[in-house]
Amino acid sequence: MTATDRISHKRRFIRKANELMEKGQVSTLVTFLIMGLRELDGKEGVNRRPLNAA
């Protein structure tokens, strides 16, 4: 995936999350966000600090 593809993917993801939030579809929004986090965890090269890191 190229850098441009990643940016487009992030924009579509944020747009969809905002749309769900505006419609008040909270349970669908939560599911959508969890799926997005799982997708991020599966990608290589993602630099994230553990939650318990100082």
**pTM of the predicted model as reported, rounded to 2 decimal places:** 0.61
| Selection from 53, 13, 11, 49 nearest residue 34 by Cα | 13
Long-range Cβ contacts of 47-54 (<8 Å, 24+ apart): none
Tens of pLDDT, residue by residue over 5-53, are 888 888 998 999 999 999 999 999 999 888 888 877 776 555 555 666 5
pLDDT at 18: 93
pLDDT at 50: 60
